[in-house]
Amino acid sequence: MTTRHPSASPTRIRFGSRPAIAAGFVKRQGQDELVKAVFARAQPRTVLTGMWGSGKSQLAAAVAARCGEEGWPLVAWIHAASRKEILVGLYELALRAGIDAPKNIPLEVIVRRLLDRLRSAEAADRLFVFDNMENPDDLRDFIPEGTGVRTLVTTRHLDWDGPGWLRLAVGAFDREQSVSLLYEHTGDTHREAADRIADALGDVPVAITQAAATAQQGRYALSGYLDRLSHHPLESRMSRLEGANYPDAVGIALLMAYEQVLEQLRTEHPQQERIAVSILGALSLLAVSGVPTHWLLRLDGDSDAVRDTLSFLKSAAIFQESSDGTKTIIPWLQGHVYRETYLNDQKKLGEARRCAATLLGGIDVDRLENVEQRRDETHHLIEQFLSVTSQDYSHSLFSEPQVPSKLAETLHDAASLGMSQLALGLTDSVTRACEALGPDHPDALASRNSLAGTYRDAGRLDKAITLYEQALEGSIRVLGTDHPSTLTSRLNLAGAYRTAGRLSEAIPLYEQVFSGRSRVLGPDHRSTLTARDELAGIYWEAGRFDAAITLKKQILADAMRIMGPDSPGASAARLNLAATYRDAGRLSEAIPLYQENLDDVSRTLGLDHPETLASRHRLAGAYRDAGRLDEAISLYKENLEGFTRLAGPDHPETLASRATLAGAYQAASRFDEAIPLFEQNLDDVSRTLGLDHPETLASRHRLAGAYRDAGRLDEAIPLFEQNLDDFIRILGPDRPDTFTSRSTLASAYQAAGRLDEAIPLFEQNLEDRTRTLGPGHPVTLTSRGNLAGAYRDAGRLDYAIHLFGDNLEATIRILDPHHPHTLLSRDNLADAYRAAGRTEDAEKLFETPSDSEDEPDGTENDPDQETGD
């Protein structure tokens, strides 16, 4: 699955949640220089330095707002407190910009693609703001570049010094700005009182702004506010912040704001006071970049009371809104004061933690109406967990049971929504959860298990397997061998082994899951039946067809007994058994089952029902496999006529049916009938779906394959070449379809005797398959065999023998000595030995009998053959 992205880049992007411009925004010293740097392109990289509360973010937000108003194509605001948060922000921006993001490609690669696009794009005014950057090294390799691109960083580190950056210091208000702001909010022009307030607060912008709002809200004259500020009983308990030299009165002013609003609510609206405490506690512990406002509304069931409380706190300048109105933000310094004073009480801190945990735990992604809503909510959760993990003062949240539980759920949801790469940023969050709860706590095990699933979904099987192994060990130790969670952990590890091609390790685990569920849940429990079906599937993959068929027979018998012989479940079980017979080459047993299914469906649903057409297609396939091509072709023709009549000549099902009939003609070497159908399909698909549609590429591939099989290589090779070029251009060089297309072209070159062109393609494919799938994956084995065959044909026998030998060792180790892949590998190595004159070595390969009671009866069937049609 590929992560969502529009078909083309949006013409105008407004990305991120920046704070709205505060009412009465004060123009700052250096603001003109900043505007000149950004708008006149005098300096493409600018950094605003200053203490917490100096107004850096407000100044940057004012610049971003102006860029948006002037119609700049891209204005991006990225929270930059950690490198992971920067990476996640740029990744999400890449998706908005239309960058292709397959789920198996790491975030860093997608971000580099975004940055490459910026460098090569036509000149345009684009702004990137990285807000509240903690470590300048976090931006390493992520600085946007390109004609017209401007980067603006805000940071509290006053010593930022880097080549190519214009550094602007954002300090305190000048005295007249402080006095004017106090006058404006209170309507009081008592100069001496205003001066003394500003002096006490060091003209720190956030403190002056808050003092003005508090005096206005409490209807104090400036002298009255000054008296309260001067005689507040609090001795500052704020810990000193690195690089900050605040007067003690700054903390008092911010604390007075909290005290006043809570006291006012306590007097006038007691319910709202409780809501306000909950909101303040949650916001002070969650992401400094803000919390979705609709989450906060849930604290009191989306009542008028919670809306009124939020409105009141915003009017008192305790909170800010994001510019798009979607988030509520508490400025960092105000949150710090709240934590250092109000939450200094352990009971109140516990209440705040529980409130934040309840807020996170109450998000139910599954109940949302559509995929985009679920994606957005999951992204919000990932953003919160990243911040909680990077904020030292938030780590205690992981001790709240709801938080690790929601973390595990979020990882699972992200994987199901194609957001695996994004969720991998939560690795440190899982570590924190395990440290807080202990590695064997059920929620810690669940988080580790979900993280393993995320790695697996992202194609990182090595990481996934390690985590699944740890989770299984912990589950056995804590819960016992037969606990449902242990069985699930064992099943997850088995699935990861299976995906990695490590079938010999997967099969015992599937067997243990089946026996465990049978013992604990009973033979007829749904989970037991599912486990039996999965075990049958892994037996099939390992080439143990007899064992698979035994289970499939039992599944059919149980389905008929439990659900009835005419039930959909019994019909599905019958088809599965027939398919396994077919795969095992036992076609004389498969065909009657397919015929029975077709008869039943035709009788109950009618000749033109879609399921009847599907059943006819399956029976025709079995006839084709059995070499009964005339009977297969007759059924395929009947299906094509049905689809054409019911759906029309251009319907995808009709086109697919025509391709299938053409393939049957091709198998019967009736190329004069096959090729015109393939040519017609390519014309129709190109016309209806477009030249770049995957089905167009597939149709071209089929036609090229027919040309190749008819001996018309001069016509086949240009089509294969065109397909490879298109796959690279449309999907990228690292996609499985691209690898398959390259292998097919290489095989065509090989068939034409053009080995100098074939071998480099086979070599590249083997390198790419090994890198993306691992050296032991079945498809990697196929790629290695293809290259070895090309070396053999080119007379490079030492190379061929080496690769065929590697393949034989791998198939014996990973699959089974009697698996069709193993037998094929042994035959290939023996042929290479004989070609090299090493007859004795060839004969030694067959000294151990290859036949045994476990050997499959059927013919070799290679589902991973890359060059097949």
pLDDT tens column, 223-270: 999 998 988 876 545 555 555 677 888 888 888 998 899 999 999 888
- Tell me: pLDDT of 857 over 80: no
- Tell me: pLDDT of 384 over 50: yes
Q: Is 798 exposed, middle or buried (0-12, 13-18, 19+ CB in 10 A)?
A: exposed
User: 320-321 and 327-329: which strand pairing?
Assistant: antiparallel
How would residue 861 be classed by pLDDT, with cut points 50, 70 and 90?
Answer: very low
**What secondary structure letter does DSSP report for 363?**
-
Query: What's the rounded Cα separation, in Å, for the pair 778 and 270?
Result: 67
Query: What's the rounded Cα separation, in Å, for the pair 574 and 568?
Result: 10
pLDDT score, position 495: 93
- Tell me: pLDDT of 772 over 70: yes
Q: How many CA atoms lie within 13 A of 222 on its CB side?
A: 24
Give backbone dihedrals phi and psi of 286, rounded to 5 degrees, phi first: -90, -165
Least confident of 25-34, 483-492, 752-761: 25-34
Q: Is 609 exposed, middle or buried (0-12, 13-18, 19+ CB in 10 A)?
A: middle
Strand partners, 292: 327
Q: What is the pLDDT of residues 285-323, one digit of tens each?
A: 999 999 999 999 988 777 889 999 999 998 888 888 898
Nearest to 228 by CA among 237, 243, 218: 218
In our burial notation (b when 16+ CB lie closer than 10 A, e otherwise), range 96-123 reads: bbbbbbbbbbebebbbbbbbeebeebee
Contact between 127 and 64 (Cβ < 8 Å): yes
User: 126-133 and 149-155: which strand pairing?
Assistant: parallel
Give backbone dihedrals phi and psi of 131, rounded to 5 degrees, phi first: -95, 140
Q: How many CA atoms lie within 13 A of 465 on its CB side?
A: 15
- The pLDDT of 118-122, averaged and rounded, is 90
How would residue 4 be classed by pLDDT, with cut points 50, 70 and 90?
Answer: very low
Query: What's the rounded Cα separation, in Å, for the pair 609 and 605?
Result: 6
Which residue type occupies 514?
Answer: F
Instruction: Name the helix (H) or strand (E) containing 155.
Output: strand 149-155
- The pLDDT of 547-570, averaged and rounded, is 87
Grouping H, G, I as helix, E, B as strand and the rest as coil, residue 131 is strand
Contact between 496 and 456 (Cβ < 8 Å): yes
In our burial notation (b when 16+ CB lie closer than 10 A, e otherwise), range 440-468 reads: ebbbbbbbbbbbbbbbbbbbbbebbbebb
Query: What's the rounded Cα separation, in Å, for the pair 457 and 461?
Result: 8
Give backbone dihedrals phi and psi of 752, rounded to 5 degrees, phi first: -85, 5
pLDDT score, position 240: 54
Residue 264 falls in which region: left (phi positive, over 0), alpha (psi -120 to 50) or beta: alpha
How would residue 737 be classed by pLDDT, with cut points 50, 70 and 90?
Answer: confident
**What secondary structure letter does DSSP report for 231?**
T
- Tell me: pLDDT of 164 over 90: no
- Residue 39 CA: distances (Å) to CA of 33, 117, 164, 207, 608: 10, 22, 17, 30, 67
H helix intervals, 76-174:
83-96, 107-120
- Tell me: pLDDT of 868 over 80: no
Q: Which residue has the higher pLDDT, 159 or 132?
A: 132
- The pLDDT of 159-180, averaged and rounded, is 83
Instruction: Name the helix (H) or strand (E) containing 57.
Output: helix 56-69
- Tell me: pLDDT of 794 over 70: yes
Instruction: Name the helix (H) or strand (E) containing 153.
Output: strand 149-155
By residue count, the chain amounts to: 869
pLDDT score, position 112: 93
- The pLDDT of 324-344, averaged and rounded, is 89
- Tell me: pLDDT of 432 over 90: yes
Q: How many CA atoms lie within 13 A of 368 on its CB side?
A: 15
Nearest to 782 by CA among 796, 771, 766, 768: 766
Long-range contact pairs involving 294-302 (C-beta distance under 8 Å, separation at least 24): 294/326, 295/359, 295/362, 295/363, 295/380, 296/328, 296/359, 298/359, 298/362, 299/275, 299/355, 299/359, 300/271, 300/275
Structure tokens at 84: 């992971």
pLDDT score, position 23: 67
Q: What is the pLDDT of residues 502-552, one digit of tens each?
A: 999 999 999 999 999 999 989 888 888 889 989 999 998 888 999 999 999
Q: What is the pLDDT of residues 650-707, one digit of tens each?
A: 898 999 999 999 999 999 999 999 999 999 999 999 999 888 888 899 999 999 999 9
User: 166-169 and 149-155: which strand pairing?
Assistant: unpaired
* End-to-end Cα, the chain, rounded Å: 22
Contact between 216 and 188 (Cβ < 8 Å): no
